[in-house]
Amino acid sequence: MDILESLRGRLVVSCQAAETSPLHATQHIVALARAAVQGGAHGVRIEGVRNVEAVRQAVEVPIIGITKIAQTGSDVYITPTLDDVRSIAAVGADIVAFDATSRTRPVPVAEIAREIARLDKISMADISTLEEARQAIAAGANLVGTTLSGYTPYTVDAPAPDFALMSALAAENIPFVAEGRIWEPGEALRALEIGARFVVIGSAITRPDEITRRFADAIAGAAR
């Protein structure tokens, strides 16, 4: 069974931690990944070369690997350069995800997709609109993720989760992954029903500070 087929209809957990989080250390990311797999995740999404390398040694499920590196003169920071692609591929990522939005970028989408293919990896283009998805697939990406809907200047008002975007992708038979602002199991199920190949969940599972804040805010609001 190939990697994408093994993930079809399954849950992938994004195990990342912000720099301000107490979990921002490789050993914690490894623990999160192992816990996610123990709980039933069929894959993990991991940021950073050191983290991907360590997680690869700890779990056997497919890894979606990325880097997050700020670029001068560009808002694109998810696996933005060819060097980022090579470094993530070299340490064991099965799928390399990258920003494929229409923002000013250091390297064209087609070059990123071509390099991922040359390295015999699967390319996942993180997009925020239908047109970006069309362009990414035309440029050679294997599939797209709805990851960046709501995070680009022109999609800040997009619904969360962006089921409209998912439906548009499904209508055009664009292979897509549902990712971004999914907080409830029912939302994940709806994404699969629309046509997502698989679902990636991050903050709702692996960011206890964000999860705690949701409960704290709800309780504080009720107490007013």
Residue 22 has pLDDT above 70, yes or no: yes
For the range 213-222, what are the long-range contacts, defined as Cβ-Cβ under 8 Å and sequence gap of 24 or more? 214/183
Q: What is the DSSP string of the chain?
A: --HHHHHTT-EEEEE---TTSTT-SHHHHHHHHHHHHHTT-SEEEEESHHHHHHHHHH--S-EEEE-B--BTTBS--BS-SHHHHHHHHHTT-SEEEEE--SS--SS-HHHHHHHHHHTT-EEEEE-SSHHHHHHHHHTT-SEEE-TTTTSSTTSTT--SS-HHHHHHHHHTT--EEEESS--SHHHHHHHHHHT-S-EEE-HHHH-HHHHHHHHHHHHHHHH-
- Radius of gyration of the CA atoms of the chain, in A: 17
Query: Across residues 159-170, what is the average pLDDT?
Result: 98
Q: Is residue 1 very low, low, confident or very high in pLDDT (cuts 50, 70, 90)?
A: low
Which tens digit of pLDDT belongs to each residue from 88-122?
999 999 999 999 999 999 999 999 999 999 999 99
What pLDDT is stored for residue 224 in this prediction? 72
Average pLDDT, the chain: 97
What pLDDT is stored for residue 141 in this prediction? 99
Q: What are phi and psi of 126, to 5 degrees?
A: -80, 120
Q: Is residue 123 very low, low, confident or very high in pLDDT (cuts 50, 70, 90)?
A: very high
Query: Across residues 1-8, what is the average pLDDT?
Result: 92
What pLDDT is stored for residue 222 in this prediction? 83
Cis bond upstream, residue 80 (ω within 30)? no
| pTM for this entry | 0.97
Cα–Cα distances in angstroms (integers) from residue 142 to residues 58, 124, 213, in the given order = 26, 6, 36
Residue 188 has pLDDT above 80, yes or no: yes
What pLDDT is stored for residue 72 in this prediction? 86
Residue % of the chain over a pLDDT of 90? 96
Asked whether the beta carbons of 112 and 85 are under 8 A apart, the reply is: yes
**CATH assignment, 3-223:** 3.20.20.70
Which tens digit of pLDDT belongs to each residue from 27-80?
999 999 999 999 999 999 999 999 999 999 999 999 999 999 988 889 999 999
* Residues 55, 58: Cα–Cα separation, whole Å: 5
